Amino acid sequence: MIRKGYYNYKEKVVKRVLKMTLLGSILSFGVLWGSQVELIEPEEAIKLIGNKDVMFVSGDGADIYSINHIVGSVEMNAHHLHHSDIMGNMHCAPLYTCPEEAQKYIRSKGIRNDQLIIAYDNFRGPNATGVYSFFESFGHKNIKLLNGGFNGIQAIDPNQIKFNELKDQRKKLKGQIKQEKDAAKLAELTKKDNDLQAQMKALEPKLLVQRGDEPKHEPSGYTIDVNALDIQYIAEKDEVKKAVDDILKNGKASKFAVIDTRSMDEIIGERKMDNVARGGHIPGATFLEWSHITDMDNRRSFKSNEAMQEVFDKAGITKDQTIYAYCQVGTGRSSHIITALRLLGYENVKVFTGSWDAWGNDMNLPIRR
């Protein structure tokens, strides 16, 4: 049942967002509303685990959370933060979802307005940046992004390091046990294996990254102020359409750029999500897959500034452009690219929150394959 006054509330929100969008287009080259992205390294983040004034928020799904999550953290699957109807319409665009729905969901996680939120994922970045962008757009000011995710915490957790050493020892020992024929030596090796197993079991509860399903949370009184929304770094469909029209008209001379952060299979339309009517890409888009930004070798969410700048320079993305990025749902691969651009000092950058879910389902909009 829809609560009384819901549509009036939604109309108020949409009018507020439209007013902010218009103001943003007027001031986009003169005033910076929001703050720059704040990264936090594992060495600092590890000190905050267990602090009641800090909430670690995993952007990974429940399946990954159940295998690896930071102690005391909550799960907010980044892809589920984008809400649209069956036709891809987002009713409070450019927001990822309407404030009333977002507020209810955040409350269900027990998150408070006065807490520092540290968004994280495994280490790759898209899901963590999705959480970051979501909270930022609803006006939460105290947010950080964990560079390296839970992998970064595991790499410096003394108990995890010892646990991994014991695990490696057990692996070697099991190989010896399998090959040993002498009964006395086999018994000795088995005893060593049992000792190692006992040590590992004793360490398990002390690990800072744990296994297990997310527990139920005591709902909080979290409040979203519709007058404090921050939409500087997000955009809706009509705004992106104007940029696309300009790109198609002016080509490389356009002051706009639209980045498609998806895989090539999605870009050419061979791979299509079930909830989207059409596969393909936005005309005039620059193809730049999100993975070119992540430091896979060092398991960090972002490469060095120099390496990232080289990627964008090669793609022809310049600081004098107004840049939009899209993926499937906004909270993920495109938020990762936009975050990287912000870290490099690009000012006029926005996540297309509707992304391909909104564009691909709108039969009035052009596509390419």
**149 CA to centre of own chain:** 11
Letter string b/e over residues 130-165, b meaning 16 or more CB atoms within 10 A of that residue's CB: bbbbbbbbbbbeebbbbbbbbbbbbbebebbeebee
What is the number of other CB atoms lying within 10 angstroms of the CB of residue 102?
21
- Identify the CA nearest to 89 among candidates 269, 360, 363, 358: 358
Local structure of residue 295 (DSSP, 8 states): B
- Identify the CA nearest to 305 among candidates 44, 39, 59: 39
> Cis ω on the peptide bond leading into residue 126 (within 30° of 0)?
no
The answer regarding whether domain 234-359 maps to CATH 3.30.1200.10 reads no
What's the pTM?
0.90
Q: Do domains 32-147+210-222 and 234-359 have the same CATH topology?
A: yes
pLDDT interval class at 11 (50, 70, 90): low
Q: Using the Cα atoms of residue 316, residue 322, residue 325 and residue 331 in order, give the sign of their dihedral.
A: positive
**351 CA to centre of own chain:** 12
pLDDT of residue 13: 56
d(CA 246, CA 338): 20
pLDDT of residue 184: 94
Tokens representing 261 are 């952060």
The domain segmentation of the chain, as residue ranges, is: 32-147+210-222, 158-206, 234-359
pLDDT of residue 55: 98
Judged against a pLDDT cut of 60, whether residue 28 lies above it is answered with no
Judged against a pLDDT cut of 70, whether residue 18 lies above it is answered with no
**CATH architecture of the domain covering 32-147+210-222:** 3-Layer(aba) Sandwich (3.40)
Residue with token string 């080259």:
29
What residues contact 313, with CB distance under 8 A and at least 6 apart? none
Q: Is 54 helix (H, G, I), strand (E, B) or coil?
A: strand
Judged against a pLDDT cut of 90, whether residue 327 lies above it is answered with yes
Amino acid at site 8: N
In this structure, what is the dihedral angle of CA atoms 46, 52, 53, 58, given to the nearest 10 degrees?
60
Q: Is 125 helix (H, G, I), strand (E, B) or coil?
A: coil
Would you tell me the crossing angle of helices 305-315 and 333-343 to the nearest 10 degrees?
Answer: 110
pLDDT in tens, 201-250: 999 999 999 999 999 999 999 999 999 999 999 999 999 999 999 999 99
Q: What would the DSSP string read from start to end of 166-209?
A: HHHHHHHHHHHHHH---HHHHHHHHHHHHHHHHHHHHHGGG-SE
Residue with token string 């646990």:
163
pLDDT of residue 35: 55
- Identify the CA nearest to 72 among candidates 53, 91, 90: 53
Q: Average pLDDT in the 113-118 region? A: 98
d(CA 340, CA 317): 12
Average pLDDT, the chain: 91
Q: Average pLDDT in the 255-279 region? A: 90
Q: Using the Cα atoms of residue 210, residue 214, residue 219 and residue 222 in order, give the sign of their dihedral.
A: positive
- Identify the CA nearest to 332 among candidates 130, 145, 133, 149: 130
Least confident of 3-12, 167-176, 217-226: 3-12
Contact 280, 369 (CB under 8 A): yes
Kind plus residue range of the DSSP H or E element containing 134: helix 126-137
Share of residues in the chain with pLDDT > 90 (%): 86
Amino acid at site 369: R
